Chains A and B, each alone.
Chain A
C-alpha cells in the first residue's frame, strides 16, 4: 500500500493582486520597495522570496501570497498609492481564495480527476504555477517543490465544493485530511 494522500488547507493570511508593466523600472522598483520581491516574467512561473511567493497570472498581473501571518491592511493604502503613482495597481485579495495542499504519491492523479493540465513532473516542475480548471471551477495550481505535492487555490465561495471533490477522489487512494 502506497502512502496515503494528505489533504491540508493552507491558510492564506495575506494576498495581493499586483498589476503593472514589468518592463517599467519605476513600477518594478516600487514593487521591490513595498514587497521586497521581484516579479516573475516567464509565464506560469513563480518567484519565492523570504516573505512571500509571487505567482505569474498574466503579462501584467501577479498574485503575491504572504508566507507568514500579517495584517493585509497594514499600510495597504500607502502601498496602493505608491504603486498607483508608479503606474501600477495593488488590490487586496487576502480573503478571496482558499488554498489546499495535496501531497502523496498519487497527488497528481487526484488533481487529474478535474484538471485537464499535464501535471507530470516532466512538464510541471517545482516552482511552476498554472491557471486552469478543477471540474468547472477556476483554479490556480502550484508545485512548491520536487516532492509529489501540489497546491490548488480556488475562490472562497467554491471551496466547499472543491474540498468535497478532492476528498471523494482522494478516498480511492486512502487519505488524511488536516
Chain B
C-alpha cells in the first residue's frame, strides 16, 4: 500500500509504525500519530461526506475540533458512533469508518436531488411549509420523513459495552491548551510551586505554531523534549493529553473529558473508555488558541477546499500534502506563511489571492508565487473536487480562471473564547483582528496567546508566562523570578476584514455554515424577513446549530448580517456560548452510575443467606429485601401465601434489619418524644416500648414506629425503612435549630443492628430455646424490652429483645450487632425447625399486616391522611402540644366526608383489582364520582379471600355497605363489602397470650 500524498519526512507521525484502516469498505494505510483525516488525505481521499440539507459533496475542511464537514460513522456494532470528526479521531490499527448521510454511497448520493431543487427549500422552509394542515398530527408525519433525509449518522442500538468513569481533581492552576502558550503558562505556574493540571485536546503537544525557535531551540524540541518532560518529571503537574475541557461552571469548576482508550484497537479491560474530570481550580489559564474562519464565495464547499492553517497543519504535523496545485485565498499575513510551507512541501502554489493591498510580505513572496492583491475568489468549480477557481479584482473586472485541486482559505482567526464566555466573561470586538476577544470575567480566568487575540508567538509566550504567574498569585502562591520563554518577533501587516465576496448570480451557493448548509443568501433572506437579531438568525437559518456549534461560521454569519444591516459587528453581537465545547459521548456523563449502579445498593448482613435459600429480592429504598422464598415449582405468590399461613399457624421469621433505628440519650428524651409524637411518652417505663405516630407541621401523618426505653436516659426509636433518613434529619434539625436547650443526643444505629422478627403462636417456644432469660408471658409481657444472649455456634450473641408485633401474632424482635447478624439468624432457623419455623419475606409480611389492619406510611399514609383518617385519632393526646397538632383542627381536616381507613372484602370470588378506585355505580358515565381508593390489597390465605385496605369517604360509617372497586387500568370491576380494617383478632388477644 502506498500513500501518494505522504511526505518522506516531517511531522509527528511514526513512519516505522504503519496502521491499517478501512474507510467505506476500502483498505488504507496510515501511521501512528495520524488522525483519520490526515491518513485519508495521505491516501488522496478528500470526499468524505454529504452535506446535511443539500447532500453536496464535502471534504476535510479543518484539522481540528472545529471541523464542520468530515464527520464519519466510526466502528460497528455496539461500539458504532456517529458524527465522529475525522480530524480529531486518532488513527488506530483496524479502525473502520464510513461516510454518513448519503445513500447509496458518498460518491453517488440520491439525496443530492435536494441541491437541484434548493431554490424550493430556502431557510425556514420547514417552518413555512409543514405547518399545514395546522394539526400536530401532520407535523409528526412530515418529521418522520424529514429526519430520515436529513439525518446524520446512526447511533448504536445495542447497549454500550464500555465503562466510563468520573474523577474529581483539584489544582492551583488549570491550564487549558497544550500548545507553546499553554506550556509556557504551566511552566511559570509550576515554578511558583503551584499544583498544575494541563488539559490538551490533542494526542500531541504543541499548537498552531510549528517552525519557530523558542529559547534558541527548535520549537518542537522546546515543547516535547524540554518543557513537557520537565513539567512531568520535576513538578507537581498533571498532564492530560486527549482531554477536552468542555464546560466552565461556577466556582471555577471545569469539566473535561479524557479519551482514555479511543485510540486503542482493543482497549485494555481495566481502563475506562473515557473519563470525565471535574476540576476545581483556584485559577485557570485559558490557552485554547484560535479558530480560523472561511470566506464565503460560490462553491466554497467543494472537497479540496480547506482552511489555510489546516493545510499547513497537514504538511507540518502529519507530513501530508493536502493537494498538488494550490491556490491561497487570504486576508492576513499568516496565510501567506502557510503558502510558503505548502510550497516547501512540494505543493505547487499557483496563486495567492490576497484581499489586501500589496504588503512587505506579499512583495517578498511575489518572486516565488504569483500574488493577486486587492483580489478575491468569486467562485470555485468542480464536480466532486475543486478543479478551478475564478479570481477577480475587488474593484470589479474580468475574472481569471486558475486550475487547482486545493484552495486554502483564511479569513482571519477568531480566539476560542467559548470557555471564557461560559465563565461569564465579557467579550470585546477587536477591529485589528476582526474578532471578539476576552475582556473581563468575574471568575479568575486568565486568557493568553491566540485565545486572547495575540497571534505573534513571541508576544504570546510572554503573555502566557505572565498569565501563569498571575494565576499562581491568584492561587496564593508567590512566583520566583523566571525569564519568560523567548521567540523572535515578526512584523505583521494588518488583516482586512473579508467575510464574503460580491455575489455573481442568485443561484450561487456561498456557504457560511458548512455543517448546516447555511449560505449568504439564507442570511440575506433572514434579514429581509426581519430575523435580524443574532439569536433569531441562528434559529431561523440554523446557523451554528450543528454538532460543531458554528465554530468556523458564527463570526462570519454575524459579520454578513452586520454588512446587510449596515451596522457595526459588535451591535449584532454573538450568540451565547454554552457547554459542551465539543460533543461529549453520552456514556461519559453518568460515568459508573448506569444499570445496577444508578444508585448504591444496601445489603443486610443476612443477605447471602437469603440468596442461597432462593429468596426473590425486592427493592425497598436502596435496600434489597427478600420478597419471598419460593420452593422448587412454587410461584412467588404461592410462596408468600404459604409463608403467611405458616406465621398464623406455627411461626415465621423475617429480616427487619432495614427498619430505621435511632438512639436517643439525655435527660429530656421523653420531652422530645412528647413534642414529635402525637401520643404521650413521659409515662413510658424502662424496659417497655410503645407505638407512636409523627405528624408533619401541617398535621398530616409523616411516619410511625416504636420507641423503647432502654435506661433512664437511653431510648431506641424505630422508623419505617423508607423514612429512616428523613426522621433522623428532622430530629437533628429540631435539636440543633429549634430546641437546642433540650438535653438530647441522637445517632442513627440502623447499621449497627441486625434485626429479626419472630412471629406466630410458636414464637415463644423458639425463643425459649434461644435466649438465656425468662420469656414467659409473666416475665416478658407484650411491649416488654430487655437484653439477653442468643445461643449460637461460637460465643453467645448479646442481643436486645422486644416483644412487639406487626403481624398480629405473638411476636418478638431480636436485635444483635450486625457483625453477628447472620449467626443469630442461623441460630433462630435451627432452633425453630422443630416448631415449623419458616423464613418469610416482605410479601407475606404485607399480607399479615393487611389482615391485621396495620397501616403503612406510603400506602395508607399517603401524605394527605391524618391520624384520625387512619383510625388513630384517639392517640392524639389532648393535654400536650406536638408538631402538627395546632393545624389538626382546620375545617378540611375535620370534614365529615374525609376519606377514612376501612377494610374491603371482594365479593363474588373475584380478585381485588390493583390500583382500584371506589365508586357507587360502576356504570356511571365518566367521570365517575370517586368515593375513595384501595391503598393495599392481597389475597389472604388465612381468610381465603381477597381483601384490601382502602380510604373511603366517611368510611367508618359505611361498615356493612357494598361499593364497587373499579380499575380502568386493568379493566376490572369488583363488588366489595366495606368493614373494619382489622380482619384478624380485633381484640388483640393473640398478642398478649
Per-residue CB proximity of B70-102 to A under 8 Å, as 1/0? 000000000000000000000000000000000
- Contacting pair A137 B600 (CB below 8 A): yes
Partner-contacting stretch, out of A32-40, A42-50, A73-81, A141-149: A73-81
Q: Which of A1-49 contact B (CB under 8 A)?
A: 17, 19-20
Closest to B754 in A: A95
Partner-contacting stretch, out of B511-519, B812-820, B979-987: B812-820
Residues of chain B within 8 A of A137, CB atoms compared:
600
Query: Once A and B bind, how many residue pairs between them come within 8 Å at the CB atom?
Result: 112
- Contacting pair B751 A156 (CB below 8 A): yes
Closest to B602 in A: A157
Residues of chain A within 8 A of B623, CB atoms compared:
157
- Contacting pair B602 A158 (CB below 8 A): yes
B165, B597, B751: the one within 8 Å of A113 (CB):
B165
- Contacting pair B751 A155 (CB below 8 A): yes
Question: A136-B599, A171-B270 in contact; A84/B749 too (CB < 8 A)?
Answer: no
Complexed CA–CA distance, A96 and B605 (Å): 11
- Contacting pair A73 B798 (CB below 8 A): yes
Asked whether A88 is an interface residue with its Cβ less than 8 Å from the other chain, the reply is yes
Asked whether A92 is an interface residue with its Cβ less than 8 Å from the other chain, the reply is yes
Asked whether B973 is an interface residue with its Cβ less than 8 Å from the other chain, the reply is no
Complexed CA–CA distance, A91 and B623 (Å): 24
- Contacting pair A116 B278 (CB below 8 A): yes
Complexed CA–CA distance, A137 and B599 (Å): 9
Residues of chain A within 8 A of B750, CB atoms compared:
96, 155
Asked whether B541 is an interface residue with its Cβ less than 8 Å from the other chain, the reply is no
Complexed CA–CA distance, A157 and B602 (Å): 5
B170, B270, B604, B663: the one within 8 Å of A118 (CB):
B170
Residues of chain B within 8 A of A80, CB atoms compared:
665, 711, 714
Complexed CA–CA distance, A104 and B742 (Å): 47
A81, A84, A120, A165: the one within 8 Å of B666 (CB):
A84
Question: A80-B665, A84-B714, A116-B278 in contact; A91/B749 too (CB < 8 A)?
Answer: yes
Q: Which of A93-116 contact B (CB under 8 A)?
A: 93-97, 109, 112-116
Complexed CA–CA distance, A20 and B601 (Å): 33
Question: A87-B743, A172-B271 in contact; A157/B603 too (CB < 8 A)?
Answer: yes
- Contacting pair A97 B169 (CB below 8 A): no
Q: How distant is A30 from chain B, measured CB to nearest CB, in Å?
A: 13
- Contacting pair B665 A90 (CB below 8 A): yes
- Contacting pair A118 B280 (CB below 8 A): yes
Complexed CA–CA distance, A115 and B170 (Å): 11
Size band of the A side of the interface? 35 or more
Complexed CA–CA distance, A80 and B714 (Å): 9
Per-residue CB proximity of B695-737 to A under 8 Å, as 1/0? 0000000000000000111100000000000000000000000
Q: How distant is B602 from chain A, measured CB to nearest CB, in Å?
A: 4
Question: A80-B711, A156-B818, A157-B604 in contact; A91/B663 too (CB < 8 A)?
Answer: yes
Asked whether B6 is an interface residue with its Cβ less than 8 Å from the other chain, the reply is no
Closest to B713 in A: A84
Q: How distant is B553 from chain A, measured CB to nearest CB, in Å?
A: 38
- Contacting pair B168 A112 (CB below 8 A): yes
Q: How distant is A15 from chain B, measured CB to nearest CB, in Å?
A: 9
Q: How distant is A31 from chain B, measured CB to nearest CB, in Å?
A: 13
Asked whether B992 is an interface residue with its Cβ less than 8 Å from the other chain, the reply is no
Most chain-B Cβ atoms within 10 A of its Cβ — which of A91, A94, A97?
A91
Complexed CA–CA distance, A90 and B166 (Å): 38
- Contacting pair A116 B752 (CB below 8 A): no
- Contacting pair B818 A96 (CB below 8 A): yes
Q: Which 5 pairs, one residue from A and one from B, show the smallest C-beta to C-beta distance? A: A89-B745, A157-B602, A118-B170, A89-B665, A95-B817
26 A/B residue pairs, CB under 8 Å, sorted by A:
A19-B665, A19-B745, A61-B747, A84-B666, A84-B712, A90-B665, A91-B663, A93-B747, A96-B749, A96-B750, A96-B751, A112-B169, A116-B168, A117-B168, A118-B170, A123-B170, A135-B600, A155-B602, A155-B751, A156-B751, A157-B603, A161-B597, A161-B600, A161-B601, A168-B163, A172-B271
Binding site for A on B (CB under 8 A): 163, 165-170, 195, 270-272, 278, 280, 592-593, 597, 599-605, 623, 663, 665-667, 711-714, 743, 745, 747, 749-753, 798, 817-820
